[in-house]
């Protein structure tokens, strides 16, 4: 058995913290959950944190003057501080959204709103200039992006008249050179830290450097990296990155909450995305002024219970140590790749070196549709993802219409990978694949 970052006892302790892992599925088969890249399971401490908020402190934050409102507000802002520290940032740099998709849309719409008269009045001129996007400007993405980090930029290009360009990937799922798309016309670079399909961990430095040489805004989708890696280098003062986004449900936290970290000067210059209560400063019939960030971007009653649950989730990961979480993931990935390499009828998409990957392995079985593969695995109690994984352009670039993806979490074991491989061998038998 492969040696992982956690001992056998620690792994058992971790799994015991996730109640859902004890259930059975499909005629009382043990659940083998290998779909953490889509959504992670939740430890008891997260469930209890949300329950405790609702049973003891539930009130509208930043609104009432009574004790419950004070307690709810304190819990909400303490959660913001916890998540800021987890990312290596400050509380006023953290905006809560409903998911990562909304966080990216917030940036894209704020940029397009900045073009309207009065939208950036009083803002720092240098920051306001960086938010200006129009005809002749270019927005750069990559061919491996999740649709959430592609479609909003397509729409921004359409609304502003800017041109959308992209950095292509090679047959092994690695990005091409920065200069293939980044130029002196680049205004925004939106790039994933880790691919949600092939698991490629991108070396962001050369792409960020090329973008910053042109004073472009850099947006990093960290939805697939935050559950597995220490990402404080992304928010460091000298990183060159302006925005980092992730979503709570992939990092052991609740659904319904996302996080946008942004540089203070850009957040302060950005016009709001949603308007209404809580995000205002002064309201008159003739017009309104808006609160400073982060409240400017949190219209309405915020996601207080979810924030408390997410803070509990990141504390849980920190309790085990992000270095150990990463080592566990890398060892699992290496083990999966080793087992898959012994099956000639199985093609792995992306890099074959576990050190280049994070969190997932996508593959195709020769002659068998991924949906059929997934159905047989599901019959054996094994949960994986099949399809294009909200990344159609990436699959087209790799020459496959879809794939099967196994993705891992802190609670995943090598025994679960063994179970998947045994089920995949059954796929070959059922479909008569030449092995």
Active site residues: 390
Alpha helices, DSSP H, located in 88-188:
100-113, 125-130, 151-160
Q: Which two tokens stand for residue 365?
A: 């079985």
Three-state DSSP class for residue 51: helix
Work out the number of other CB atoms within 10 angstroms of the CB of residue 357.
Answer: 25
Paired residues of 221 in beta bridges: 192, 245
d(CA 308, CA 278): 19
Determine the Cα–Cα distance for residues 202 and 394; give it in Å rounded to an integer: 15
Running DSSP on this structure, what letter comes out for residue 316?
A: H
Helix (H) or strand (E) run with residue 24 in it: strand 24-25
Alpha helices in 255-369 (DSSP H): 264-269, 304-320, 322-341
**CB of 131 closer than 8 Å to CB of 266:** yes
**Cα torsion at 32, 34, 35, 37 (round to 10°)?**
150
Asked if 139 and 153 count as a contact pair (C-beta separation under 8 A), the reply is yes
> CA-CA distances (angstroms) from residue 98 to 43, 256, 274?
20, 5, 12
Q: How far apart are the first and last CA of the chain?
A: 25
Name the DSSP class of 374. Answer: H
- Report the distance separating Cα 214 and Cα 185, nearest Å: 8
What 8-state DSSP symbol labels residue 218?
Answer: E
Backbone angles phi, psi at 244, to 5 degrees: -130, 130
SS3 content of the chain, % helix, strand, coil (to 5): 40, 20, 40
Residue 243's φ and ψ, nearest 5 degrees, are -140, 140
């Amino acid at each position: 058995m492969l040696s992982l970052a956690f001992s056998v006892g620690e792994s058992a302790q971790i799994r015991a913290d996730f109640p859902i892992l004890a259930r059975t599925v499909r005629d009382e088969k043990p659940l083998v959950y290998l779909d953490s890249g889509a959504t992670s399971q939740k430890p008891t401490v997260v469930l209890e944190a949300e329950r405790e908020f609702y049973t003891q402190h539930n009130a509208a934050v930043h609104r009432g003057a009574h004790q419950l409102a004070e307690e709810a507000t304190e819990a909400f802002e303490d959660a913001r501080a916890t998540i800021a520290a987890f990312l290596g940032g400050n509380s006023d740099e953290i905006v809560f959204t409903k998911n990562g998709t909304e966080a990216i849309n917030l940036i894209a719409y704020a940029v397009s709103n900045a073009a309207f008269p009065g939208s950036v009045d009083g803002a720092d001129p240098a920051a306001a200039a960086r938010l200006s996007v129009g005809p002749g400007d270019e927005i750069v993405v990559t061919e491996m992006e999740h649709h959430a980090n592609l479609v909003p930029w397509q729409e921004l290009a359409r609304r502003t008249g800017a041109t959308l360009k992209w950095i292509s990937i090679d047959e092994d799922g690695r990005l091409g050179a920065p200069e293939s798309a980044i130029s002196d016309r680049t205004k925004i670079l939106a790039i994933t830290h880790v691919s949600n399909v092939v698991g490629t961990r991108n070396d962001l430095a050369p792409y960020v450097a090329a973008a910053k040489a042109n004073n472009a805004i850099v947006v990093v989708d960290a939805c697939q990296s935050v559950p597995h890696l220490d990402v404080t280098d992304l928010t460091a003062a000298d990183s060159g990155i302006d925005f980092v986004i992730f979503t709570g449900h992939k990092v052991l936290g609740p659904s319904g909450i996302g996080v946008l970290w942004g540089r203070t000067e850009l957040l302060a210059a950005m016009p709001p995305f949603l308007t209404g209560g809580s995000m205002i400063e002064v309201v008159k019939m003739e017009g309104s002024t808006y609160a400073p960030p982060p409240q400017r971007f949190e219209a309405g009653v915020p996601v207080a219970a979810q924030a408390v649950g997410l803070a509990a989730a990141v504390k849980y990961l920190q309790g085990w140590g992000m270095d150990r979480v990463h080592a566990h993931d890398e060892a699992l990935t290496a083990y999966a790749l080793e087992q898959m390499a012994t099956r000639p009828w199985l093609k792995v998409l992306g890099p074959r070196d576990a050190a280049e990957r994070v969190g997932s392995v996508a593959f195709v079985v020769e002659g068998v549709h991924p949906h059929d593969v997934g159905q047989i695995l599901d019959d054996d109690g094994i949960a994986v993802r099949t399809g294009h994984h909200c990344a159609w352009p990436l699959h087209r670039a790799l020459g496959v219409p879809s794939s099967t993806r196994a993705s891992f979490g802190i609670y995943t074991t090598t025994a679960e990978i063994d179970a998947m491989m045994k089920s995949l061998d059954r796929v070959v038998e059922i479909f008569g694949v030449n092995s």
